A = this chain, B = another copy of it.
Amino acid sequence: MEQVEIFKALSNKTRLQLLEWLKDPEANFPEQKEYGYAHGVCVGQLQVKAGLTQSTISEYLSVLQRAGFVESTRVGQWTYYKRNEETFRILSQLITDSL
């Protein structure tokens, strides 16, 4: 992934918001409590909270995934997304080291 693509992924308010929400699924998505948070949060919950259409959120999650900020797990008919903290650490390091 190109550096510039990484930053593009972060250049959108909604996408930043999704990443922030995913920092604390329990607090931000209590509706999902009965299903657990092991693999993160499913697309539908994120979509409702963001208030944009399903297609848009799906696309945004895909952008974040291509940049490495989230990973997805398919469970039955649901796709769960959770943060990949490693990528954030690497990015932080990249900024101090090579930017």
Q: Spell out A's residues near B (CB within 8 Å).
A: 3-4, 7-8, 10-13, 16, 19-20, 88-89, 91-93, 95-96, 99
Interface of A is mostly: helix
* A19 in contact with B91 (CB, 8 Å): no
Number of chain copies forming the complex: 2
Residues in B neighbouring A99, C-beta threshold 8 A = 10, 16, 19-20, 88
* B13 in contact with A11 (CB, 8 Å): no
A-B contact sample (7 more), CB < 8 A, given A3-B16, A92-B95: A4-B12, A4-B16, A7-B10, A10-B99, A16-B99, A88-B96, A92-B93
Least distance between A93 CB and chain B CB atoms (Å) = 8
